[in-house]
Amino acid sequence: MTGTLSSPTAQELTPDELLEAYRTMRTIRAFEERVHDEFAGGDIPGFVHLYAGEEASATGVCSHLDDRDAIASTHRGHGHCIAKGVEVKPMMAEIYGKLTGSCHGKGGSMHIADLSKGMLGANGIVGGGPPLICGRALASQKRGDGGVGVAFFGDGASNQGTTLESLNLATIWNLPAIFVAENNGYAEATSSSWSVATDDIADRAAAFGMPGVIVDGFDFFAVHEAAGEAVARARAGGGPTLIEVKFTRYYGHFEGDQQLYRADEVAHARENLDCLKRFRARVTADGQLDAAQLDRIDADVAALIEEAVAEAKAAPKPGADDLLTDVYVSY
């Protein structure tokens, strides 16, 4: 049941859709590069895990989602948030722990959530997302609202009981759920070749009676195609899919990681595999877009990130009066 998408046929995408996909990937990259630099300055509290290098996954999957749909994320969640439409400025403020942040400065990088956008939250619990998505997908199924739930999780999380139980539940309940295993080769410093029992995480799909697909995670078009099939199947009542997206993260596990467990794979990926470079090369070679259009997006995004950082730094921190708000959700 496991298939591999190595040389995909791009689905028809309009120029506007291509520009939007590029803007999303560029926004994630610029956001993460800036957070990397700012973290080194010491003003950002807490732990930060960056998504740079993995942009095609969140972007390719979320390009099929709309307001009916929800995603669950991980500790490496900034890219998922941006791709699902969470505003960049409140996200940056949240990372700085400021009152203007998405969660009023009380969540930080690892707990950004925006339920109004169907972003159920970054999550410090490895393997925490898949059970949440079973619940959300079950709610959509019962309400008949056509919504799908997508759980992003890592290769490390793929070994968690919560993930495996969720795959099982999703099939027996025939849920409109998609499980996106983002295999970046490591859980902290532990190689997935050592910790994952199968060569490919997607192979596990057969054990849970669902289709499993392996995708080149540096290729937006490959992710977009695989996710498109999975979302269409889920919406049509065809049940869940496991998509394994393979790539490399460009920064350490967390900011401050010395990365003594790997050598030159990042330089190789940045040079030869990078999703933004490949996207640019493909759409300009096809004549679908020209380089000036993409350069304009780069400039817009750079300005947005600059403003987001300046506003986040200038914003107030939550005070003692804010201590007891946002503790409970009221329905």
Ligand X SMILES: Cc1ncc(C[n+]2csc(CCOP(=O)(O)OP(=O)(O)O)c2C)c(N)n1
Interface positions with ligand X (CB under 6 A): 74-76, 124-127, 154-157, 184, 186-188, 253
Which residue is nearest to ligand X, using beta carbons?
A: 154
Using left for φ > 0, alpha for ψ between -120 and 50, and beta otherwise, residue 150 falls in: beta
When the beta carbons of 245 and 301 are compared against Mg ion, the nearer one is 245
When the beta carbons of 187 and 213 are compared against ligand X, the nearer one is 187
Q: What is the largest CA-CA distance in the chain?
A: 57
53 binds, options ligand X, Mg ion, none, Cβ within 5 to 8 A by partner type: none
Determine contact, residues 70/102, Cβ cutoff 8 Å: no
Q: CB neighbours (10 Å) of residue 135?
A: 17
Residue 119: DSSP 8-state? B
Record the tokens describing residue 308, joined without a space: 């987001």
Which residue is nearest to Mg ion, using beta carbons?
A: 154
d(CA 94, CA 317): 10
126 binds, options ligand X, Mg ion, none, Cβ within 5 to 8 A by partner type: ligand X
When the beta carbons of 75 and 111 are compared against ligand X, the nearer one is 75
When the beta carbons of 92 and 223 are compared against Mg ion, the nearer one is 223
Min dist. Cβ of residue 160 to ligand X (A)? 7
Min dist. Cβ of residue 183 to Mg ion (A)? 6
Min dist. Cβ of residue 155 to Mg ion (A)? 4
Residue with tokens 């595999």: 273
75 binds, options Mg ion, ligand X, none, Cβ within 5 to 8 A by partner type: ligand X
Min dist. Cβ of residue 299 to ligand X (A)? 30
Min dist. Cβ of residue 126 to ligand X (A)? 4
Min dist. Cβ of residue 285 to ligand X (A)? 32
Determine contact, residues 179/240, Cβ cutoff 8 Å: yes
Which residues form the interface with Mg ion (CB under 5 A)?
154-155, 184, 186-187
Bridge partners of 70, per DSSP, are 149
157 binds, options ligand X, Mg ion, none, Cβ within 5 to 8 A by partner type: ligand X
Min dist. Cβ of residue 224 to Mg ion (A)? 22
When the beta carbons of 189 and 291 are compared against ligand X, the nearer one is 189
Task: For residue 48, give Cα distances in angstroms to 76, 105, 127.
Answer: 8, 14, 18
Alpha-helical (H) ranges within the chain are 15-41, 55-62, 78-83, 88-95, 129-143, 161-172, 192-195, 220-235, 265-272, 275-285, 291-314
When the beta carbons of 75 and 224 are compared against ligand X, the nearer one is 75
SS3 120: coil
207 binds, options ligand X, Mg ion, none, Cβ within 5 to 8 A by partner type: none
When the beta carbons of 132 and 289 are compared against ligand X, the nearer one is 132
169 binds, options Mg ion, ligand X, none, Cβ within 5 to 8 A by partner type: none
Question: Using CB atoms within 10 A of its CB, is residue 35 exposed (0-12), middle (13-18) or buried (19+)?
Answer: buried
